[in-house]
Structure formats: C-alpha cells, structure tokens
Structure 1
Amino acid sequence: MTAATPPESGATSDGSASACARPWPLRRRSRLPSVSFALGVVSLASFWVSGLGFVLGLSAVVCGAIAASRSGAADDEPASLRALLGVVTGVAGIIVSAIALFPVLEYL
C-alpha cells in the first residue's frame, strides 16, 4: 500500500488544473487605505481629547492622500474608496477637534 502523492505541476490526476495553481503571482495590496480610514474613525471618536483627535485626523489625511496617489489604488476601487473615506473622516476629525478645542483655549 503506497500513498498517492499529488502531481508537482499543479494539475490533478485527471489533467485539470488544481485550485492551488495560480496563473499569475499574487500582488501584495497596500494597507495604507485601511490605516487611513481607521485613523479617521479614531480621530472622530477621540475629538474630546485635547489635540489627539487633531493629530489622528491629520495623519489620516496624509495617509489617505498618499494611498490615493499611488497607482495601485487607482486599479483597486475598494482601496481608493477607503483612501477617500480616510481623507473625509480625517478632515471631519480635524474640524470636530478644532470646534471642541475652542472653548478650552480660554482656560489655557
């Protein structure tokens, strides 16, 4: 009794291509659009912490702008949408943080 070994060429015993064989190499996708969106959401959630929402919003805008300017994001529609949402939520976090900071400036 011998164990059957799978063929090395990526084809199954009946000659059809296996699910493991990929005709093209996998491209590594950028995480920058997701990071931008996450930073924007956290900046909106932390607007009440003096300065933290502003800094996180600014970093979300920068990450989103870099991610949107890359050529890989132009081909990947969900990534470009996440980058745009990161910029929008980052700007919203900056605005809300600035509005929340104005009453505190009186006491600084």
Structure 2
Amino acid sequence: MSAAVPHSSCADNRVHFSVDGNELRKQHHSWLPAVSIAVGALSVASFWVVGLGFILGVAAVVCGAVATSRSAVADDEAASLRALLGIVSGVAGITVSSIALFPMLAQP
C-alpha cells in the first residue's frame, strides 16, 4: 500500500495582481524585439556579403518599428528597449554594409 499524497496545484494557479491588488495583470510577450536584435546582429556580421547585410539591416529596422508600435511592447519598458536596440543594430548593419558596398560599386 502506498500513502496518498495530495496534489498541490499552488504552482499551477498563481495569480499575479497589480500593486494595488485590484487588477489582474496579464503579461504579453512579443517575439518581435528579439527577432529585431538577432537580425540586426546578423546584418552587422554579414556586411561583407554583397547586399545581405543591407537587406538584413532593413528587416531589423522594420521588425523593431513594428514591435514598438504594438501596445504590448509599448507598455513593457524592457521590450521597448530591446526593440530600440534592434533598430539601432539594424541601422548599424545598413551603415556598415553601405560603406563596404560603395568601393565595390566604384570598380569598373
């Protein structure tokens, strides 16, 4: 015979309340800021491939801009900073790719 152990569902049913305790706070996680950072980093890393760094930089800027326009990201300070970092890394990728691309285009 084995003893019956009651199942504790405390970890499964945690409810998070706001500071005043009246409103239930629901967290919405957006994946666009993380995608923007990753694509921006790839654009900086792949600046030497003709056109790829530029295209990835534009994609990072677009993902970051779309992420900042969403209300779930605008309400979350950390997510909005990640989206801004993605935009900055995308602009850096565009800049570095453009600087590397101009000498290639100048050759006959």
Pair in the same fold by TM > 0.5: yes
- Cα deviations across residues 32-89 of structure 1 (Å, max 9, x unaligned)? 0000011111100111110000000000000000000100011111110110000011
The equivalences for 1:8-47 within 5 A come to 10=9, 18-23=10-15, 27-47=27-47
Please list every run of 5 or more consecutive structure 1 residues that lacks an aligned counterpart in the other structure. Answer: 11-17
Larger Rg: 1
The equivalences for 1:1-108 within 5 A come to 1=1, 2-6=3-7, 10=9, 18-23=10-15, 27-107=27-107
- Give 1:23 shift: 2.1
SS state of the match for residue 101, structure 1?
helix
CA contact (8 A) 2:60 2:87 kept: yes
1:104 & 1:59 partners in 2: Cα distance?
23
What is the RMSD of the two structures over their aligned residues, measured on CA atoms? 1.9
Equivalent residue pairs, number: 99
Please list every run of 5 or more consecutive structure 2 residues that lacks an aligned counterpart in the other structure. Answer: 17-24
- Give 1:21 shift: 1.6
TM-score (normalizing by structure 2): 0.81
Structure 1 letter corresponding to 2:62: V
